[in-house]
Structure 1
Amino acid sequence: MSPWGAPPVQWLKRQFSQAPFVSTRRVWPTGVRLAVLVVLFLLVTGLAAGMRSVAGDNPVLSLTFGVAAAVIALAVYAAAVRFLEQRPVSELDTAGAVPTLRRGALVGLGLFTATLALIALSGGYGTRGGVSVGGAFTVLGMMVGVAVVEEILFRGIVFRLVEQLAGTLGALAVSGVLFGALHLVNSGATVWGALAIAVEAGLMLGAAYAATRTLWLPIGLHLGWNFAVSGVFGVTVSGNQDMPAGLFHSVLSGPAAITGGDFGPEASVFAILVCAVPAVVFLRSAKRRGRLHSRGRLRSEETRTVS
C-alpha cells in the first residue's frame, strides 16, 4: 500500500495524472520549495548511490536497482511537486514519454559517437581487449538511475525553480555551474573537466528542457550520452575512473585538449563543440515557442499563483 492508502499502481498513476488539480492548500514561495526539494533529492541521490554500490558489477542487479532508483526518483518528485506546488506535474506527462526518451537517447548516443569520431580523426583513439556484453548491461543499469536522478535534481528542481527567480538565462547559468561542480567529486576530476561539463552538458540539457518543458528529453539525452561514453566505448566518464568495463575497451592518447586527459572525452574541445550545436538548436526553438522567460514575467506569474 502507498502512504495514502491506495494500491501502489493506482497511487503512481495519480501522481502523474494531468487531470485538472483541485488546490487544497496555499503554494509555498519559490525559494522555500527550492530548498525543500533540493534537500529531498540529495537524500534520493544518496539512496540511488547506495543501490549502485550494492549492485556492483552484477549486470542483473545493476539493471534492477537502476530501474528501481529511477522509479523511486520519479515517484518522489511527482508526489512532492503535487503537494508543494498544487499542480499536475506537466514536465513528467507520460503521454509521449517513451518516444521522447528514445529520441533523446539516440541523439545523445549520436553526439558522443561524433565526439569520439573527431578524436579518432585526430589520431587519439584506439581499442584494446575483447567485448564485454555484461559490462555494457551493468553500465546501462547504472546510467538509467543516474540520468533520471540527476535530471530531476538539476533540470526539474534547480533549473525550473531558479528560472522563476532569475529567468531562463539565470537558470541556465546556475544549473550548469552546479552540474559541473558535482563532477569535481569524481576520482579523475579536473577543474577544466567540470567547466566543460557545465558548458556542454549543463547548457545543452537545460536548453532541451527550456525548449520542450518536459524532463523526458533531457533524461534521454543524458542516458544516451553516458551509456555511449562508458557502456559502449568504455572510456572514462566525467572523471569517474572506477566504472565497470563497457562493451569495448577504448584507449585515448594525445593532448588533453583533444582527448580530455584523465577526465575523459567530455573534457575534449570536440565534446564542447559537438554539444554546442544542439544547445543552440534547442535555445532557438525555445525562443521561437516563447519559452525563454524573463525574471519579471515569471515572478508576476508566481505572485498570481500563490495569491
Structure 2
Amino acid sequence: MTIMIKIVLACLAIFAGIFAVKFLLFPAVYFIFNMQSGQLKVVEQFTTLMFIGLGYYLYVKYYEKRRPDELTFRASHLFYGAVSGAALISVTSLLLFYLGYYEVVSFQGLEGIPIVGSTILVAAMLEEFLFRGVLFRVIEAHVGTLFSLSFVATLFGLLHLFNENTTVVTAFSVTLLGVFWGGIYVLTRNIWVVGLNHAAWNFSIFSTGIPLSGNEDWRAVAPFESIYNGPLLLTGGEFGPEDSIINIIVLLISVVVIFYFAQKIRLLSALAKIPRRLSWKRRFR
C-alpha cells in the first residue's frame, strides 16, 4: 500500500504541473495575445517540462522529505547523456543507410525541428520521470534493483504495444530499451541524464525521416525524407530502427556493459532488499 500511495502522489504532482500549463497558463497566454505561433508552442513545451520537474521536486521535498539529488544538473553528465543516446541509435541507422536498406530521398528543411524537437524532449522527459523517477525508484526502494528494473522495463515495453505499426519484435525491443534506460539511471541516479539520452535517441530517428516508434506523422516535417526497404527484421519496418535486429544486438551489448560497470562500482546494493527467492546478490559480491 505504501508503494502505491507514493506512486500515485508522485504521478499526481507531475500531472498537476502539466495540467497547470496546458489548461490554465497557456490558454490564458493564447487568449491575451490572440495568437498561437510556432514560437509560443515551443515556449509552451519548455514551460511544461519546467512544471513537470517542479511537480516532482515538490513531491520529493515535501512528501518524501529529502533532497532530490536525482534532479541535480551536471553539464558534462547531461552532455554525455545526450550524445550517447544519439550515437547509439545512429550505429543502427547509419549502418542501414550504408547498406542501402535506408535511403535518403531529399532534404526537406529545418522548419519542423523546433516544434517536433521540443515535443520529443518533453515526451521523453515525461516518460523518464514516470518510469524511472517514480516507478523504478519507488519500487526499487522496497524490493530491490533487479526486480524493479525487470518489472518497470516490461511495463514500458507492453505499454508501447499501443503504438501504431507494432510487431511481435516490438515487445522485446522496447522492453530492452526500458532495461537500457533503467540501467543508465542506475549508473547516474539522474533523471535529466537518462531523459536527455532518451530524447536524443528519439530525435536522431526523427531527423533521418524514418518512423519513430511506429509514428509516421512527423516524417513529413523531418529534415530528411527517407525510404526503407528490405527484410522486416533488419529494417524494423513501419515501427522504425528500434525493431531492427541490429539495434537489438547493440542494446544487448550496451546493457551488458552498463551492468558490468554497475557491478564494479557497487551500485546494486539495493539487491539486499530482494526476498531470497528473487535475490541475485551473490552474483554481484
**1:210–1:291 Cα contact (<8 Å) kept:** yes
Deviation by residue 1:107-152 (Cα, 9 ceiling, x = unmatched): 1111121111222344311012323201122221111111211111
User: Which letter does structure 2 place at the counterpart of 1:159?
Assistant: F
Task: Give the paired residue count.
Answer: 265
Match for residue 124 of structure 1? 101
Match for residue 175 of structure 1? 152
Q: Please report the TM-score for the alignment, with normalisation by the length of structure 2.
A: 0.83
RMSD, aligned CA: 2.7
> In the alignment, does 2:237 pair up with 1:256?
no
Q: Aligned partners of 2:19 and 2:210: how far apart in 1?
A: 25
Distance 1:272 1:39, change over 3 A: farther
Q: Aligned partners of 1:47 and 1:189: how far apart in 2?
A: 33
**1:181–1:194 Cα contact (<8 Å) kept:** yes
Range with greater deviation from structure 2 (115-124 or 170-179): 115-124
Match for residue 29 of structure 1? 2
Q: Please report the TM-score for the alignment, with normalisation by the length of structure 1.
A: 0.78
Q: Aligned partners of 2:22 and 2:157: how far apart in 1?
A: 18
Distance 1:126 1:50, change over 3 A: farther
Identity of matched residues, %: 28
Aligned-partner SS, 2:224 = coil
> In the alignment, does 2:59 pair up with 1:84?
no
Match for residue 212 of structure 2? 237
Deviation by residue 1:76-125 (Cα, 9 ceiling, x = unmatched): 1011111221100011123x1x3222211111111121111222344311
Structure 1, unaligned stretches of length 5 or more? 1-27, 300-307
**1:204–1:275 Cα contact (<8 Å) kept:** yes
Q: Aligned partners of 1:179 and 1:43: how far apart in 2?
A: 22
Residue 131 of structure 2: which of 127, 130, 154 is its match?
154
Aligned-partner SS, 1:205 = helix
**1:62–1:142 Cα contact (<8 Å) kept:** no
Distance 1:257 1:212, change over 3 A: same
Q: Aligned partners of 1:263 and 1:46: how far apart in 2?
A: 30
Match for residue 121 of structure 2? 144
Structure 2, unaligned stretches of length 5 or more? 31-35, 276-285
Aligned ranges 1:81-230 → 2 under 5 Å: 81-94=60-73, 96=74, 98-199=75-176, 201-230=177-206
User: Which letter does structure 1 place at the counterpart of 2:180?
Assistant: M
Q: Aligned partners of 1:297 and 1:176: how far apart in 2?
A: 19
User: Which letter does structure 1 place at the counterpart of 2:100?
Assistant: G
> In the alignment, does 2:46 pair up with 1:67?
yes
Distance 1:274 1:60, change over 3 A: farther
Distance 1:91 1:34, change over 3 A: same
User: Which letter does structure 2 place at the counterpart of 1:155?
Assistant: R
Q: Aligned partners of 2:131 and 2:274: how far apart in 1?
A: 19
